[in-house]
Amino acid sequence: MTSSLAIDPSVVVWSVPESARAQELTTRPLLVLMHGRGSHEHDLFALAAMLPPQFVIAALRAPLELGPGSYSWFPVGEPGRPSSVAADVAVQALFDWLDSMRSVASVSLLGFSQGGAMTLHALRHAPERFTALVNLAGFVIGGDAPADHSLETLRPPVFWGSDPADPVIPAEAIARTAVWLPSHSTLTERHYAGIGHSISREELEDVNTFLNSAV
């Protein structure tokens, strides 16, 4: 898997200063935040203060620019059915960025919407890279991926939070995810009726509980 995309390291938003980052990453777990389509790296980073304090947090900017302050991990294509090949390219860009760091104690991913789809797609390529995953209002991309079979045995911890009536994610994609996740992960699934395509404070409290127990 090769990538023609790249994560721009100069725009990654970190919770620790550069002078302390290398040392901190050797002893503290890294939590990578991946925003949704049309957003940017500062969006999810606004939640950093409400996430478990033991993490070093890094919020990435997706590599495809849609417009000023608007980025995407991969083209939407048919809603809920993006190209798995395009998602593969974005995942390789994530892996390349992770590989650029010399030593990291552990890596977990938290993504919203398209970023949530990215967390699961990354897991389906290299589950050994990740300790835990948080998928908020995201979905699993259709088709096969290299680690799907091994995930049936490995069952890594995954948190999936959503509103079942999410007005943005197609019902087909939600149904696909509801079938796939229980057989490929140790799943913590929570529903938040009425929040639409967003993140609630109750959901963040559940995410904190999950991360504190999984990492």
Query: pLDDT, tens digit, for every residue of 171-213?
Result: 999 999 999 999 999 999 999 999 999 999 999 999 999 999 9
What residues does 83 pair with on adjacent strands? none
Q: What domain range includes position 75? A: 9-214
d(CA 68, CA 57): 24
CATH number at residue 183: 3.40.50.1820
In a domain, 3, yes or no: no
Kindly tell me if the per-residue pLDDT of 40 is higher than 70: yes
In a domain, 4, yes or no: no
Q: What is the pLDDT of residue 79?
A: 87
Kindly tell me if the per-residue pLDDT of 145 is higher than 90: yes
In a domain, 1, yes or no: no
Number of domains into which the chain is organized? 1
**CA 57 → CA 106, 120, 143, distances in Å?**
12, 19, 31
CB 211 within 8 Å of CB 51:
yes
pTM: 0.96
In a domain, 203, yes or no: yes
Q: What is the pLDDT of residue 77?
A: 85
In a domain, 155, yes or no: yes
